[in-house]
Amino acid sequence: MQELVASGVEFYGRLTSDDGAVDDFGFDPDLVDDALMPALRPLYEKYFRVEVQGLEHVPADGSALVVANHSGTLPLDALMLQLCLRDHHPDHRRLRMLAADLAFQLPVVRDLARKLGHVRACPENAERLLLEGALVGVMPEGYGGLGKPFDERYRLRRFGRGGFAAVALRTGRPMVPCSIVGAEEIYPMIGESRTLARMLKLPYFPITPTFPLLGVLGLVPLPTKWTIRFDPPVHTDTFPPGAADDALVVDKLAGEVKDTVQHRLNEMVRQRDSLF
């Protein structure tokens, strides 16, 4: 018992310090590989039984922007996407996720986000990581996708203002469309409490068939079967200088990526045998 407590204290100390950080964002690759990914792996392999398709479309080296749909009430899809690329890509790529401000405001969550290599979602951070050669992940639907009602599952919300496409154009890096099926059903959101959301300063407070009715037990996700699919990259290095400032070009590219993801989601949902 004493050893367990000591290990917990040591882990928490590492989590809340800058020890092991390799950049000023707080990314700690050793802690990720030694502790955080092993903790997520049973969820990925045994619980959600994730199947991966199209990994050959993710570059073996150099930077790219992985653009994925977002869903599931809690952002487990972002974590599963990171683990997917770290474990199953032939070159074991590390994915640096762009995360909303809320992830850096909640105790413990902010420390986990930093150590996992997540950074605040803004053009400056995205450009910096891409220019440094990182593989960057973005889920442009944001909270609109994450807090989507169950009856709107697999219908993409607005992809922000297309800022991800402008970043890709500005840096000349490719965008890799990514479609995730299975996450929509882990917490079927049948309603929300706007009053509680305002009180807790959250973007939404979900109501599912099991939460908050069953309390903490209601936070256990349903064991749905997941598929993560990567499509061929959309290249941006052939556009002329200044294309990132042309709203029509940015909208066209962002729409192309969104349409690819939506088409793939429709196909994957139609072809799957069951949720589980």
Lowest-pLDDT range of 22-26, 159-163, 233-237:
159-163
40 within a domain of the structure (yes/no) = no
Split into its structural domains, the chain has a count of 1
| Six token digits for residue 50 | 């994730």
DSSP state of 234: B
* Residues making up the chain, counted from first to last: 276
Which of 5, 34, 29, 33 has its CA nearest to residue 19?
29
Report the pLDDT value the prediction gives residue 229, as an integer from 0 to 100: 98
Calpha distance 13→9 (Å, rounded)? 6
What are the backbone dihedrals phi and psi of residue 213, each rounded to the nearest 5 degrees, phi first?
-55, -45
The answer to pTM > 0.85 is yes
CATH number at residue 99: 3.40.1130.10
Report the pLDDT value the prediction gives residue 218, as an integer from 0 to 100: 92
226 within a domain of the structure (yes/no) = yes
pLDDT tens for 79-127 read 999 999 999 999 999 999 999 999 999 999 999 999 999 999 999 999 9
User: Which residue range(s) make up the domain with 241?
Assistant: 48-186+221-271
34 within a domain of the structure (yes/no) = no
Report the pLDDT value the prediction gives residue 20, as an integer from 0 to 100: 87
> What single letter denotes the amino acid at residue 59?
P
Residue 234's CB is within 10 A of a number of other CB atoms, namely: 18
| Six token digits for residue 174 | 């490719």
